[in-house]
Structure 1
Amino acid sequence: MMTDVRRRELFWFFAIALIVLGAGIGLRAPWPADEPRFVLVAKQMWDSGDWLFPHRGHELYADKPPLYFWLLGAAYAVVRDWTWAFLLPSLVAAMATLWLTYDLTRRLWSHRAGLWSAIAVLACVQFLYQAKRAQIDPTVVCFITLGVYGIARHVLLGPAWKWFWIGCFAAGLGVISKGVGFLALLALIPYALMRWRGWNGLADLGRGNALRWSGGALAFLAAIAVWFVPMIVTATTSGDPEHQAYVNELLYKQTATRYTSAWHHTQPFWYFLEVIAAYWLPFSLALPWLFPRWRDAFRAGDARVWLPLGWALLVLVFFSASPGKRDMYILPMLPMVAVAAGPYLEGVTASKWFRRILLALVVVLGIAFFGAGVAALQGDPSFEVKIEAERGLAPTSDTLWWLLAITGAAMLAVCVWWRRDALRASAVALSLLVVVLFSGTAVLLDAENSARAVMARGHALAGDATLGLVAWKEQNLLQAQGPVEEFGFRKPVDQQLRAGIAWMEAAPEKRRLFVQQDALDHCLVRERGQAVGTANRRTWWLFGADAIAPECRVSGH
């Protein structure tokens, strides 16, 4: 039963989580990597009304299924402003993940255990960073967590067939978000092994339920069919070869080939152990204290601990077996590892050594930010010169360095003030760091990171002319002001440039080329162009038809 004290604790936890995760929303536009691409795809879906086949510019975009883009569109439908809308799906998904983590742990053990599990997830660096980005991962984590939650509600606390079917349906939604949503169904493997071995904590589901179990498969397939069936029907009946190419790219290259023969982000088998140690801080600090407790739970055959933990280990093995690895791949493990840690975290955090190590970590972070800020304010260290050059900051502006110095000083002051309460000091200092840093940098770096400033200047220089984008990135098309044209994204840069020159020659008074510096060759005379500026470490130029070299003119004169 939920008492007033528990309600207050729950309210304050989720209020703090909302502030921490929501800080910075509305203060910036999408930043690379990924954010401009996903928002551009969603915006083009909204503008065109084609919700089955995502596009990036003129080309079909087959790298990801469309559910996340639908969610971006739904957020825009509510607030009607892409600057506010594009981070809302990640925020909602993160908050939902925290609730699912809390609620499953509460049902398995207690309210306090549930709070500690949710705190462990919220405190994780990787979770915080991903939840504050417009990437697909927070949404996929939410669907996978809901999937395992539904299965666990059934096999550990059931029978609860409706929750089992909801879990399977959520796994299907995860598939049409990023393909790996099926991982939630792996929770049935440790359940089957534990039932065979007679472990404690499993629900009595009775016999003769084959039809109900098969309902899970139907729910899983039904969720996928929401998009897959109309997409396949359209692709096979439209007669459009691009639709068939889209199906082949999505179903084969971006799934099976990407897993078995990854062409980028190759890492050794043990890579994710390094990710857990570094990117799951400060939660990973508790692991040395948790391992003995998990060992004892294994010996006791406690399915409440080892069903979520066993599932997490299967996910770890699955991603470790692929040569292509990125740190966020294992983020879906985190909520269930936190569930398995929930009943022990209050005892772990009571350890003096744990508190000392945690406080030392926060102090080191405070010193690092304070020291970096002061060093930049006092001189011109190499990191200051590099960051200012890459992020378009004026060398005479010290706002960013004041922000770092003040943030670091505030963290250190908090640690001194609550030095006898390491948990409170760490929580306040880390919350302060996240809120101030993400909000401050959103304001200071947005013009450069989003390409908003360089696109505005390009439009101003071109006047009423249409900009033709060559060697463009998604943020350039997304932030374009006024009419634009593009000549393909995946097309080789030299082909884009030739197409752009022919396009500009067709109406030289009304068209200009907006070209990335790395794409320039002898066909455009740089001395006759205008340097527009930089964005995301790329330099951009504007050219009129008079800059076309004679030998490259399509008209021949």
Structure 2
Amino acid sequence: MRLNDDRTSLRHFAWFMLIAFLVLAAGIGLRDPWPPDEPRFALIARQMLESGQWLFPHRGMELYSDKPPMLMWTEAAWMWLTGEWRGAFLLTSLVSGLGTLALTWHLGRRLWDARTGLVAATIVLMSMPFIEVIRHAQIDPLNLFWITLANTGILLHCLRGPNWRMYWLGCFAAGLGVITKGVGVIALLMLLPYVACRARAWPGVTLTRGDGWRWAAGALAFFVAIALWLGPMLATAYGMRTPEYLAYVNDILFRQTAERYADSWQHEEAPWFFLGVILRGWLPTWLLIPVLLPRWRDAWRLREPRVWIPLAWCLLVLVFFSIPRGKREIYIVPMLPMLAMAMAPYVLDLLKTRWLQRVAFWITVACGVVFAAAGTWALVAAPKVARRFAEGYELDGHGQALWVSVMAVGACFFVAAAGFRPRRGVAALLCGMALGWTLWPLATYPLLNQNQSARAVMAAADEAIGPGGELGLVAWREENLLQARRPVAEFGFSRKAADQLAAARAWQAADPARRYIFLNDDALDSCVVADKVRPLGVANRVRFVLLPADASRPACTPQPVAVRS
């Protein structure tokens, strides 16, 4: 009987993973990297493959020290395996997302049972922040996977142990999280509620005696993972001892980690910022929390560590990221799998209630009405906001195809509601979300890609300079260099635009007949001859232009001005 149950649970899990794959992989190959982060990481990964320099990421000619190179390594590996970068840049996020779901299922199965694990994984998949993160090629999906792996290893040891190998694996994964984004260390906060539960003699907590060296080996595993990159990087940087590489070490080890946490200089928000993020964006997940509060209270009274250790960890993570001034919505996404782990045992019981099914059904209908009405209004009435949006993304007309796509998402919810009816409202909501999330990228990526990726602008520049022309980039963005159709000259990324333009003019003067300057038109100065500037188009609401040699006045001392072509 147990063997049949195991086969059934594995079959259910396999179907779930197939659905998750279809939802998360939808649109891969239909678009190029989109700003702000995707073109940067794809560009760095491609440069790694071309240069063979793996320890020190470069953005163009400059060292890139904002983030460790783990994501860029994986993207470069996918590019090498597939032979191209257009679809490969999203594969790390896809695999990380599927891996996170598999770990959530496995942890729920080990702590509770297979059905609970499947519910926990479903809660994660149905959460909007998870879909949004996995759909983009940023560092956060890989970081989410490492933190979930670390949490899984630590919890299986602390609640189903002793299992020292899983504990060491968890600590090692936390170290990999550190060399991915720097915040992988938050996984180790899981040990704090474990220690508290153990001190209060909660049942179900792993007890060990005389194993101090095994606990300490977890710290060793953590630092060994970090040393895989840090050791060779430091040895090489201090061996070269150039100002550029020493500045890289200082920036990535201190300014981008401890200093950024203690004295944030970007994304300043109020201490309660993440509460608003959860209420506004963690739909429909947070809607279950008020219903679950009495059950979590009962779990506290029963001293249930399988609920309260993951839940306490979520609270610690929330506090950790609320302390610094700099905050972004994406920071707390690693909480999702552990929050789902605390919710899943009770959601199983809620699924049997009639009221939850009916509420979920009417939420499904409401989603259909909202999307269908918004799309119809934008399509038929063509309000100013719809026209402005279409103009910003250079869509034909007032973006009719985009608004039809919005209406189609609404239709997905209506179809799901009609198919499952109120009696199976939760299934209707899940089906509508899955259909909508699958349809949206398939319909919209081809519409938005030319503008979002700067592909059209770079194609226009390549055509404008002719077969023998050379292009120099000024005040450029990563997508410009990534999408360039031929080798280009660039004069630094972090330098002031005026300094880049001065260097570009000197470069152009050496061969004025063949060399052209490509730049953001905000960087135009008073030495530009306005009627000689050639407009190239708009990408991501930024206008780009081309300067032939006669578009700059000779012997002119420039002053920055706002010149529009």
Please state which band the TM-score falls in when normalised by the shorter chain.
over 0.9
Aligned to 1:272: 274
Match of 1:219 among 221, 229, 248: 221
**Aligned twin of 1:517:** 521
Contact 1:76 1:85 in 2 (8 A): yes
Does 2:96 match 1:88? Answer: no
Match of 2:475 in 1: 471
Q: Distance in 2 between matches of 1:493 and 1:365?
A: 46
- The answer to whether the 8 A contact 1:289-1:348 is kept is no
Can you list the C-alpha shifts for 1:134-171, whole angstroms capped at 9, x where unaligned? Answer: 01111101101111110111111011111111000000
**Are residues 1:146 and 2:153 paired?**
no
Deviation of 1:386 (Å): 1.5
Deviations 1:492-528 (A, max 9, x none): 1111111111111111122100111111111221211
Which residue does 1:13 correspond to in 2? 16
Instruction: Give the C-alpha shift of residue 418 in structure 1.
Output: 2.3
In structure 2, give the amino acid aligned to 1:290.
L
**Distance in 2 between residues matched to 1:358 and 1:259, nearest whole Å:** 40
Distance in 2 (alpha carbons) for counterparts of 1:239 and 1:260: 28
Structure 1 residue 397, shift from structure 2 partner: 5.9
Residue correspondence of structure 1 range 289-438 to structure 2 within 5 A:
289-395=291-397, 398-420=400-422, 421-438=424-441
Alignment partner of 2:494 out of 490, 496, 507: 490
Pick from 137, 140, 146: which aligns with 2:140? 137
Matched positions, count: 553
1:166 aligns with 2:169: yes
Report the CA distance between 1:4 and its aligned residue: 3.3
Any stretches of 5+ residues in structure 1 without a counterpart? none
Q: Match of 2:270, as an amino acid? A: P
Q: Secondary structure at the match of 1:312?
A: helix
Shift of 1:355: 3.3
Question: How many percent of aligned residue pairs carry the same amino acid?
Answer: 46
- Identify if the C-alpha distance between structure 1 residues 174 and 396 changes in structure 2 by more than 3 Å, giving closer, same or farther: closer
Q: Distance in 1 between matches of 2:143 and 2:454?
A: 28
Residues 171, 220 of structure 1: 8 Å contact kept:
yes
Shift of 1:350: 3.3
Q: CA contact under 8 A between 1:155 and 1:202: conserved in structure 2?
A: yes
1:553 Cα shift? Answer: 8.1
**Letter matched to residue 3 of structure 1:** D
Matched residue, 2:242: 240
Comparing 466-475 with 120-129, which one deviates more in the overlay? 466-475
Q: Secondary structure at the match of 1:423?
A: helix
Which residue identity is paired with 2:211?
N
Question: 8 Å contact 1:282–1:358 — kept in the other structure?
Answer: no
> Could you tell me whether the CA contact under 8 Å between 1:290 and 1:348 is conserved in 2?
no
- The structural deviation recorded for 1:61 is 0.6
Cα pair 1:30 1:86 within 8 Å, conserved: yes
How far did 1:311 drift? 1.2
Instruction: Note the C-alpha offset of 1:396.
Output: 6.6
Query: 2:199 aligned with 1:188, yes or no?
Result: no
Deviation at 1:30, TM superposition (A): 0.4
Distance in 1, matches of 2:56 and 2:412, equals: 49
Q: CA deviation at 1:395?
A: 1.4
Choose the corresponding residue for 1:111, options 86, 90, 114.
114
For the 8 Å contact 1:286–1:348, the answer to whether it is kept is no
Question: 2:516 aligns to what SS in structure 1?
Answer: strand
Which of 204, 209, 212 is the matching residue for 2:211?
209
* Corresponding position: 1:23 with 2:26: yes
User: How many angstroms apart in 2 are the aligned matches of 1:133 and 1:493?
Assistant: 29
Distance in 1 (CA, whole Å) between partners of 2:52 and 2:311 is 43
Q: 2:62 aligns with which of 37, 52, 59?
A: 59
Instruction: Provide the residue aligned with 1:176 in structure 2.
Output: 179
**Which AA in structure 1 matches 2:464?**
L
Do structure 1's residue 455 and structure 2's residue 443 form an aligned pair?
no
Partner of residue 542 from structure 1, selected from 543, 546, 560: 546
TM-score by length of 1: 0.97
Partner AA of 2:174 in structure 1: A
Mapped partners of 2:8, 2:525: distance in 1: 69
Offset at 1:534?
A: 0.7
Displacement, 1:352? 3.6
Deviation, 1:173, is: 0.2
Give me the whole-angstrom Cα distance separating, in 2, the residues matched to 1:356 and 1:466: 64
Paired residues of 2:34 and 2:479 also in contact (CA < 8 A)? yes
Spell out, residue by residue over 1:38-94, the C-alpha distance to the aligned partner (whole angstroms, 9 max, x if none).
Answer: 111111111111111111111111100111111111111221110111011111111
Contact 1:267–1:323 (8 Å) recurs in 2: yes
Aligned amino acid, residue 302 of structure 1? E
> Which secondary structure does the structure 1 equivalent of 2:77 belong to?
helix
Name the aligned partner's letter for residue 73 of structure 1.
Answer: A
Rounded Cα–Cα distance in structure 2 between residues aligned with 1:360 and 1:467: 56
- The CA deviation at 1:379 is 3.0
1:355 and 1:523 map into 2 onto residues whose CA distance is 68
Deviates more, 1:431-440 or 1:274-283: 274-283
Q: 1:396 to 1:276 in 2, by over 3 A?
A: closer
Q: 8 Å contact 1:391–1:535 — kept in the other structure?
A: yes
Structure 1 stretch displaced more, 80-89 or 354-363: 354-363
| Structure-2 change in CA distance of 1:312 and 1:396 (3 Å) | closer
Secondary structure in structure 2 of the residue aligned to 1:514: strand
Amino acid in the other structure paired with 2:140: D
Closer/same/farther in 2, CA of residues 149 and 396 from structure 1, 3 Å limit: closer
Please name the residue that 1:75 is paired with: 78
Distance in 1, matches of 2:255 and 2:10, equals 48
Equivalent position amino acid for 1:426 in 2: L
1:287 equivalenced with 2:283 (yes/no) = no
The separation in 2 between residues aligned to 1:533 and 1:162, in whole angstroms, is 57
Asked whether the equivalents of residues 285 and 354 of structure 1 are also in contact (C-alpha less than 8 Å), the reply is: no
